[in-house]
Amino acid sequence: DFLNKNHIQEIDTSTFRLTVFQTVTGFRFMLLTEPESHFRKNMDTLRQIYKLFTDYALKDPFFTSDSPIQNKMFKTEVLKVL
């Protein structure tokens, strides 16, 4: 498994659920959902977003990890996943 398991993956409260997906390279993707949402479904969503990130952001020659993602196709595809 290529994922770093030494971090918080989920925080549950009575008002929200925060799910965290972290790559071995240190990128973190977070999803804030209703408390009734399911962890596995949330992780699948975050993995899909990570795939889009690798396809659109990391292959964009203008992308830098310390700035917002400006790729319009990435944003469009993420909205489809959500």
What's the pTM?
0.84
C-alpha span between 62 and 42 (Å, rounded): 29
Question: Would you give the DSSP letter of residue 30?
Answer: E
Three-class secondary structure of residue 2 per DSSP: coil
Statement: residue 4 has pLDDT above 70: no
The model's pLDDT over 51-65, given as tens digits with 9 standing for 90+, comes to 999 999 999 888 898
Statement: residue 79 has pLDDT above 50: yes
Average pLDDT, stretch 12-40?
93
CB atoms within 10 A of CB 55: 14
- Do 20 and 10 meet the contact criterion of CB atoms below 8 Å apart? yes
